[in-house]
Amino acid sequence: MPYKDPEKYKAYQREYQREYCAVARSKNPELFRARDRQRYTRESDKRKEASRRYRIEYPEKVRLVKQRWKLKNPDRVRASHARRRAREAGASGVKYTTHDHIAARVTLFGGVCAYCREAPYEHLDHVIPLSRGGSHWPANLRPACSSCNMKKHDRTWLQVEF
């Protein structure tokens, strides 16, 4: 044993192991990639199973956590609902429009309705409606209060008098 202090010896062993693994990885990258993939898959499956068991065992706790998250993140909930509607309608841009893109659009309009400019926004409106082939790209999204969005319904904003 090169060190009398056990902590120093542990640190030495960790460093030696790190160097040894680095050399071995550089010599056999395919082998280590395959091992990493297997380990990740195995650990991922274990986490999924543990999560599933927890949800079954403690459904009330899971429900409360979800409720609390929804109350803390109303913007993300709105974005999620809009994304789901767009995905069900088969609109383009669903995979690429993130919550950050939507938050930037809301900030661009000052957090108020894009149509009346008075009420705080409550909905995400598609300027060209999804029912008319509109996309879910950020350029087609506007923050809208519920009354303006309900008035607009499935028409374009040019067809509605606000």
Residue 28, pLDDT > 70, answer: yes
Please state, in angstroms and rounded to a whole number, the distance separating the CA atoms of residues 65 and 77.
14
Average pLDDT of span 66-86: 93
Q: pLDDT at position 119, please?
A: 92
Percentage of the chain exceeding pLDDT 90? 58
Residue 91, pLDDT > 90, answer: yes
- Model confidence pLDDT, tens digit, residues 106-162: 999 999 999 999 999 999 999 999 999 999 999 999 999 999 999 998 898 788 876
6-14: long-range contacts, CB 8 A cutoff, minimum separation 24: none
Question: Which residue ranges form the domains of the chain, and what is each CATH number?
Answer: 7-66 (no CATH), 75-159 (1.10.30)
Average pLDDT of span 1-20: 82
Per-residue pLDDT band at 54 (split at 50, 70, 90): very high
Percentage of the chain exceeding pLDDT 70? 98
* Average pLDDT of the chain, as a whole number: 90
Nearest to 121 by CA among 137, 130, 129, 110: 110
Residue 1, pLDDT > 80, answer: no
DSSP string, 25-55: HHH-HHHHHHHHHHHHHHHHHHHHHHHHHHH
Q: How many other CB atoms are found less than 10 A from the CB of residue 79?
A: 21
